[in-house]
Amino acid sequence: MRRISLCLLALTYAGAGLPAEPPKPLPVLAATVTRINDGDSLEVTLESGSVRVRLSAIDTPEYDQPYGATSSAALKAMLPLGASVELEVVTQDAFKRIVATVWLLADGKRININEAMLREGHAWGYRRYMRDARFCDLEAQARDAKRGLWAQPVTDWVYPPEWRFLKNGEIRALPVPYGETRETCVAVLGMAGAATY
């Protein structure tokens, strides 16, 4: 028994020095835009039929919160009906939507719409589902330049999950307005229930 344990231990340490397998590429699906639902979700047609899509790693204001309608209009302007897109699929959410990075194919270019929404100030980085601090950087750059929703008074900077928590009765009041920063964004990357502080 001791000899088997030593062999297993030796194999474990021997394998520890091996390079990790590179991550597998995410599936990519060709699609056509058929409808924009709001600032972070849309409907597309695939070869196999129609599906709903949620943009990964970003969250936009709800329709009934400040900047919600403007955020939706921004996504409509970026993704006109009939536009050709590629969906880099991350997962499927609880609402049976494909969660993906959406790439617009136009004029020989491939544009990352998720990043464009952040860069132009139409979205927040979705702290709970982000895995890359670059989204915090893009959000901070838009905030520093006062683009999009960041041109509003600080009192209107309401992180969309907090707005939903209020609407669902999970909290009684929104947090006191605060100055969001890149550091507070990075500090909560990937945390379940992550807020902005």
CA distances (Å), 192 to each of 126, 130, 188, 189, in order? Answer: 11, 11, 9, 9
pLDDT of residue 119: 97
User: Is position 17 within any domain?
Assistant: no
Which residues belong to the active site? 54, 62, 97
pTM confidence score: 0.81
User: Is position 75 within any domain?
Assistant: yes
User: Is position 8 within any domain?
Assistant: no
Contact indicator for 186, 136 with CB cutoff of 8 Å: yes
Beta strands in the chain (DSSP E): 28-38, 41-46, 49-55, 58-59, 84-92, 98-106, 109-112, 124-125
User: Is position 10 within any domain?
Assistant: no
Whichever domain contains 43, its CATH number is 2.40.50.90
Give average pLDDT by consecutive 10-residue segment, the chain, 197 residues: 38 47 78 97 96 96 93 98 96 93 95 97 91 92 96 88 86 74 81 51
How many angstroms separate the CA atoms of 27 and 29, rounded? 7
User: Is position 7 within any domain?
Assistant: no
Q: How many domains does the chain have?
A: 1
User: Is position 176 within any domain?
Assistant: yes
User: Is position 13 within any domain?
Assistant: no
User: Is position 84 within any domain?
Assistant: yes
Q: Which domain holds residue 89?
A: 25-187
pLDDT of residue 27: 84
